[in-house]
Amino acid sequence: NHDELLSYGVNCLTSGNHIWDKKDVYQYIDNSNALIRPYNYHKTARGVGYRIFNDKILVINLLGKTFMQPVNCPFQAIEELCEKLNFEDKIVIVDYHAEATAEKIAMGYYMDGKYTIVYGTHTHVQTADEQMLEKGTAYITDLGMTGPKESVIGMDIAASLKRFTTTLPEKYKL
């Protein structure tokens, strides 16, 4: 939960396509100095898509387009943000929350040399492709998830297996 994570010293919470799933998140989006929703949602969406910490660390959250709900183009959105802000004297961290690994890899190359770190999230399983790209950007396709090791993407194994083996709807359980 938001407050618990902040109590451990976490400074920034990025999000993704599920940020709007529970309406009580609005109080956090409206009041948190740590929570970031994807920048490329429509400009009228609640919250912010980036934050600057200690005047030197810029964290940006973007949402991919492939197999996701429609959003503004993340490639155009990051260019517009670059024009809006001065990135030159900042450490820039980009969380690219996307389904398709190809899209995340393309974004990594697109941002190479412009940003400090580009990492992917969403698919829950860490990739083993961490690297320094040619122009100096640190990159990994997916950081993986924080959650129970004995699970199916963080959910109860039995409920997950029932969904796959019966093809009947089964509520995911934690």
Rounded CA-CA distance 54/11 in Å is 11
Say if CB 100 and CB 76 are below 8 A apart.
no
Q: What value, to the nearest 5°, has the Cα angle with vertex 20 and ends 74 and 7?
A: 100
Rounded CA-CA distance 170/174 in Å is 13
Residue at 22: amino acid letter: K
DSSP H or E segment with residue 105 = helix 101-111
124 is a catalytic site residue: no
18, 42, 97, 124: the active-site residue: 18
Write out the catalytic residue numbers.
18
